[in-house]
Amino acid sequence: MDSKEKRNNYIYILKALAIFSVICAHATPLAEGSSKWNMLSAQVLDYLGTFGVPVFFCIFGYLFGGNTRTWRAFWKRKATTLFLPWICCETLLWFYVVLRKGGISVSAWLLFLLGYHHTTYYLTILVVFYVLYWKIHKPGAIRVLNVISVISMLETGWNVGIFHRVNTVLDSYYLNPFNWMLFFGIGLLIRQKAQEAERSIRWSNSLGILCVCGSIVYFSVHAYFGLEMYYFSRYAVIGNLLNLGTAAYLGQILMNLKKKELLFKIGDWSFAVYLLHQFVAGLVVAVTNHWDCFVLTLCRPGSYW
């Protein structure tokens, strides 16, 4: 296996981990009066659900850093690989929602597509980054934007400052590009350091274990004190960076498995899974909530496969 193939397979495994995380994030709602064990299970899924989107942004930042297509060729390809499935799937899902709940209008449809209080915010932000970073290549400029992104996440978590006002205007933390810029920027910087990027695949065991232990401590402290665990909670910058390191380390471990073709397939089909799992997410949650059983709650993500 040559280095390029190994790199691509590693990316597929990271995508597989990321899409599993996204599914965990959408499998957490519980019925009122659930037991403490069930609530703890939902918290575990909730925390696992915070890994996915930052990992995806980092991956696509890395891939975008190697783009050689012209502006026209790039968007022509995205028309079929991104926009067409996005619009088709989300329109079907929107019809399913509004036929049950009402509220049919063109503006409501557009807001749904763009991810206003909906999961496709990720795709909207990704498109914004493709446009924003098309001409931004200098590492210094990317690092400045990364610092701004860290400030934005901190202000969002603590509900202060300019970026908190941006969230208020948008009525969404998730549609604020500054809140995600760090992860896409990290991917770009890794790509610009080609040799270092290849070496980063082979993380030392000590550093990887440190990130895993840090993630466990981060979760435990938040669970014990009842603190929020989402992308933009007060200490989320620490958690998000630990999660990136943990995902990178787990990806390295999974690369050593003898039978990992299924992971490659899941990673390859991660976008399809991302779009299609929304159609059954609510059903899985509704069915399993008939029983106050923490084991069933933990098994929810596996039921999508």
Mean pLDDT of the 177-194 span: 93
Mean pLDDT of the 148-165 span: 97
Average predicted confidence (pLDDT) for the chain: 92
Tell me the per-residue pLDDT of 107-129, one tens digit each, with 9 for 90 and over: 999 999 999 999 999 999 999 99
Query: What pLDDT is recorded for position 139?
Result: 94
Query: What pLDDT is recorded for position 208?
Result: 87
Mean pLDDT of the 171-187 span: 97
Query: Is the separation of the CB atoms in 2 and 279 below 8 Å?
Result: no
CA distance 171 to 129: 20
Mean pLDDT of the 244-256 span: 94
The angle subtended at Cα 261 by Cα 1 and Cα 60, nearest 5°, is 80
Residue with tokens 């059954």: 280
Tell me the per-residue pLDDT of 216-226, one tens digit each, with 9 for 90 and over: 999 999 999 98
Distances (CA, A) of 281 to 26, 50, 84, 264, 301: 7, 17, 22, 23, 9
Mean pLDDT of the 235-261 span: 94
Nearest to 184 by CA among 10, 55, 72, 92: 55
Mean pLDDT of the 51-55 span: 97
Among 61-75, 144-158, 194-208, 209-223, name the one with the lowest average pLDDT: 194-208
CA distance 109 to 187: 32
Among 8-22, 58-72, 191-205, 263-277, name the one with the lowest average pLDDT: 191-205
Mean pLDDT of the 34-51 span: 94
CA distance 111 to 108: 5
Q: What is the pTM of this model?
A: 0.94
Mean pLDDT of the 33-40 span: 92
CA distance 168 to 287: 35
Query: Is the separation of the CB atoms in 178 and 163 below 8 Å?
Result: yes
pLDDT band at 47 (very low <50, low <70, confident <90, very high): very high
Query: What pLDDT is recorded for position 241?
Result: 96
Query: What pLDDT is recorded for position 189?
Result: 95
Query: What pLDDT is recorded for position 92?
Result: 96
Mean pLDDT of the 91-107 span: 91
Mean pLDDT of the 21-32 span: 93
Query: What pLDDT is recorded for position 18?
Result: 98
Nearest to 242 by CA among 223, 215, 204: 215
Query: What pLDDT is recorded for position 302?
Result: 83
Mean pLDDT of the 191-208 span: 67
Query: Is the separation of the CB atoms in 163 and 156 below 8 Å?
Result: yes
pLDDT at 279 exceeding the cut of 80: yes
Query: What pLDDT is recorded for position 100?
Result: 85
The angle subtended at Cα 237 by Cα 43 and Cα 171, nearest 5°, is 80
Query: What pLDDT is recorded for position 202?
Result: 55
Mean pLDDT of the 65-90 span: 97
Question: Which residues does 189 contact at the CB level (< 8 Å), separation at least 6?
Answer: 139, 142, 143, 146
pLDDT band at 183 (very low <50, low <70, confident <90, very high): very high
Query: What pLDDT is recorded for position 84?
Result: 98
Tell me the HSE value of 151 on the side-chain side, using a 13 A CA sphere. 10
pLDDT at 271 exceeding the cut of 90: yes
Query: What pLDDT is recorded for position 282?
Result: 87
